């Protein structure tokens, strides 16, 4: 995959400079409120610096068309963006008149087009301005953003880089709230791995392609996906769609889309699970990192109502446990995936194995595997995210698998495919470097049972690929009954049949690849000759015990070697004590 280069701005340094505005807010604003000022101001300044080169042209055009009933199109063309500002003020003019900063700044904001007004409303910026005025900080903040350090123009900072800055600021803002582990942010190394997995062996030939993120945050997955596609085919027509429930991150996403020249109407606000903004839509590629480990109690009523619709709704396969809604996002994605579409979605370990046969989580796995939509699962290392250190997995799903993948699932253990960071970012201590990403994507693309590393061995940085038949993940859960007996040891009968003893009831998981009766004869009857199967209670279950498939037995250290090591340690300690106390005596 062709590498993406940017203009080299130091994202962390730039966001730190912007965050220094917090020094001016200390006192009137509490630390967890700093982001309420900094995030909207950063968005406004990005808009300002993008529009500055065409500002005079927009004002000239406005004077010519202001009497027309509809004039948006003229101003959009004049600005060169999907938005504009007809206020005569710029940041330089604002700071030149400190005595009238509030009225002038409000005039400047009112000059923005309606789509920008929607962005600002999501920040509830009007009340924030009022608080800055009351605390005499508005002028100081505007002045700081007007300095060269606060410049955010596209000639210096690309869309992707600016997106990184936004996400870094959002991360810091949420850390001050003590955000839960599931509300994590996705670093670029992981995003580019996901994009490359989705685009592996793709040939566009200038065609149109739609991309969707159901939990888009600040929309950086979408912008990186668009960037990757255009690196492969500059003529490809990419249309991005996204939904987000957090007002601030949605506002940033919509602003970013407008700046990049896309359709801001494709960025929609609302809860994906309970308020689907894209009913009936189908997308060619879906890329997403939805929250995991977070309950769906708020959405429960709407989700259960839609689940009752069966195939007409998104959640026909079943519902996961109320404490973790991540599988609902998978079902939403599958419902919106085009017939030849592919999806990459981040999950934690729970969707692999949680829930017994017949439970919602197991039924969802069954739905996916029996439809043959699961293409691959890639296990990543721990410490990949800024806000959580748990092990995570990328699920790759495909509605139209190539013939050699039909009926197969590829598992890739990439938990050793990373390089430690020199300096951690929150809990993110590991990076998927270009070399690591190349190994993983190669393993995925070649679809073989083998180890991928510099020398083909399991040493240093490596990943391992294994191929399985989909049916191998399924099993029949059988209920094994044994009879009750009276005080004389005789079997108790009812209507000529043995009465089951609940205290002796047991279950067995029989692989779908094995005959139940043969398994029962081989594994149960030799140890319980009076047992039988209650066939009415047999259920089908699916689990993907990834750890078991890649587990390697480690020979324990021999007892003689342990004893020798202990004796050596005792000897060293004894010698150290002699030197210590001997030295005291000499003193």
* pLDDT of 5 higher than 50: no
Q: What pTM value is reported for the model?
A: 0.85
Yes or no: say if 366 and 541 are a contact pair by the CB < 8 Å rule: yes
Predicted local distance difference test score (pLDDT) of residue 17? 75
Residue 15: give the domain boundaries.
Answer: 11-174
Give a yes or no: residue 285 inside a domain.
no
Over residues 366-371, mean pLDDT = 98
pLDDT tens, position by position, 176-216: 555 443 444 578 889 999 999 999 888 778 889 999 999 99
Instruction: Name the band, by pLDDT with cuts 50, 70 and 90, for residue 306.
Output: very high
Q: Where are the alpha helices (DSSP H) in 243-349?
A: 247-259, 300-307, 326-336
- The share of the chain scoring above pLDDT 90, in percent, equals 66
Q: Indicate the average pLDDT of the chain.
A: 89
Predicted local distance difference test score (pLDDT) of residue 314? 97
Give a yes or no: residue 70 inside a domain.
yes
Give a yes or no: residue 569 inside a domain.
no
Predicted local distance difference test score (pLDDT) of residue 207? 86
Predicted local distance difference test score (pLDDT) of residue 184? 46
Q: Cα–Cα distance between 150 and 425 in angstroms, integer?
A: 23
Instruction: Name the band, by pLDDT with cuts 50, 70 and 90, for residue 225.
Output: very high
Q: Cα–Cα distance between 3 and 434 in angstroms, integer?
A: 8
Q: Cα–Cα distance between 245 and 254 in angstroms, integer?
A: 12
Yes or no: say if 220 and 186 are a contact pair by the CB < 8 Å rule: yes
Give a yes or no: residue 149 inside a domain.
yes
Predicted local distance difference test score (pLDDT) of residue 386? 61
Over residues 475-479, mean pLDDT = 97
Instruction: Name the band, by pLDDT with cuts 50, 70 and 90, for residue 45.
Output: very high
Q: Which of the pair, 340 or 562, is modelled with greater confidence?
A: 340
- The share of the chain scoring above pLDDT 70, in percent, equals 93
Total domains in the chain come to: 1
Query: Sign of the CA dihedral 172, 177, 182, 183?
Result: negative
Give a yes or no: residue 21 inside a domain.
yes
Give a yes or no: residue 570 inside a domain.
no
Residues pairing with 500 in the sheet = 483
Instruction: Name the band, by pLDDT with cuts 50, 70 and 90, for residue 501.
Output: very high
Of 163-167, 352-356, 456-460, which one has max mean pLDDT?
352-356
Predicted local distance difference test score (pLDDT) of residue 3? 41
Predicted local distance difference test score (pLDDT) of residue 387? 66
DSSP type of residue 68: S
Give a yes or no: residue 481 inside a domain.
no
Among 483, 486, 450, which residue's Cα sits nearest to residue 465? Answer: 450
Give a yes or no: residue 95 inside a domain.
yes
Over residues 446-473, mean pLDDT = 93
Predicted local distance difference test score (pLDDT) of residue 64? 95
pLDDT tens, position by position, 264-299: 899 999 999 999 999 999 999 999 999 888 899 999
Q: Cα–Cα distance between 92 and 352 in angstroms, integer?
A: 56
């Amino acid at each position: 995959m062709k590498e993406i280069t940017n203009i080299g701005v130091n994202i962390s340094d730039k966001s730190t400079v912007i965050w220094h505005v917090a020094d001016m807010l200390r006192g009137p604003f509490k630390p967890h409120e700093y982001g309420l000022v900094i995030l909207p101001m950063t968005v406004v300044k990005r808009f300002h610096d993008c529009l500055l080169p065409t500002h005079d042209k927009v004002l000239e055009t406005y004077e010519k068309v202001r009497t027309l009933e509809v004039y948006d199109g003229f101003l959009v063309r004049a600005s060169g963006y999907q938005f504009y500002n007809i206020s005569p003020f710029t940041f330089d003019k604002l700071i030149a008149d400190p005595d009238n900063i509030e009225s002038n700044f409000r005039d400047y904001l009112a000059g923005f087009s309606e789509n920008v007004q929607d962005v600002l409303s999501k920040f509830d910026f009007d009340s924030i301005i009022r608080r800055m005025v009351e605390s005499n900080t508005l002028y100081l903040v505007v002045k700081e953003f007007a300095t060269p350090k606060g410049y955010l123009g596209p000639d210096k900072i690309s869309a992707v880089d600016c997106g990184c800055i936004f996400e870094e600021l959002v991360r810091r803002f949420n850390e001050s709230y003590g955000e839960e582990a599931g509300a994590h942010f996705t670093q670029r190394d992981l995003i580019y791995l996901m994009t490359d997995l989705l685009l592996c062996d793709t040939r566009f030939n200038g065609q149109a392609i739609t991309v969707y993120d159901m939990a888009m945050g600040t929309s950086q997955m979408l912008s990186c996906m668009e960037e990757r596609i255009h690196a492969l085919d500059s003529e490809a027509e990419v249309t991005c769609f996204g939904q987000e429930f957090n007002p601030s991150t949605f506002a940033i996403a919509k602003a970013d889309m407008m700046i990049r020249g896309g359709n801001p109407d494709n960025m929609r606000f609302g809860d994906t699970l309970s308020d689907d903004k894209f009913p009936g839509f189908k997308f060619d590629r879906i890329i997403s990192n939805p929250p995991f480990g977070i309950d769906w109690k708020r959405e429960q009523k709407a989700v259960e109502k839609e689940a009752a619709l069966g195939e007409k709704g998104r959640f026909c396969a079943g519902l996961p446990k109320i404490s973790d809604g991540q599988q609902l996002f998978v079902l939403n994605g599958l419902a919106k995936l085009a017939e030849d579409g592919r999806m990459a979605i981040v999950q934690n370990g729970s969707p692999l194995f949680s829930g017994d046969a017949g439970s919602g989580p197991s039924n969802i796995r069954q739905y996916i595997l029996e439809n043959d939509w699961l293409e691959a699962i890639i296990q990543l290392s721990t410490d990949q995210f800024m806000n959580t250190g748990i092990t995570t997995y990328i699920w790759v799903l495909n509605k139209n698998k190539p013939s050699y993948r039909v009926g197969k699932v590829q598992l890739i253990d990439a938990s050793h495919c990373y390089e430690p960071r020199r300096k951690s970012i929150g809990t993110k201590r590991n990076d998927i470097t270009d070399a690591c990403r190349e190994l993983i994507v190669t393993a995925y693309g070649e679809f073989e049972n083998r180890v991928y590393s510099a020398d083909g061995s399991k040493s240093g940085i490596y990943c391992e690929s294994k191929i399985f038949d989909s049916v191998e993940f399924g099993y029949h859960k059988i209920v094994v009954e044994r009879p009750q007996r009276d005080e004389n040891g005789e079997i108790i009968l009812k209507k000529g049949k043995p009465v089951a003893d609940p205290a002796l009831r047991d279950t067995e998981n029989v692989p779908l690849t094995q005959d139940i009766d043969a398994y029962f004869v081989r594994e149960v009857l030799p140890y319980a000759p009076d047992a039988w199967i209650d066939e009415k209670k047999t259920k089908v279950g699916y689990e993907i015990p990834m750890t078991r498939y890649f587990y390697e037995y480690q020979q324990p250290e021999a007892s003689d070697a342990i004893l020798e090591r202990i004796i050596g340690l005792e000897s060293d300690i004894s010698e150290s004590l002699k030197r210590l106390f001997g030295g005291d005596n000499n003193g």
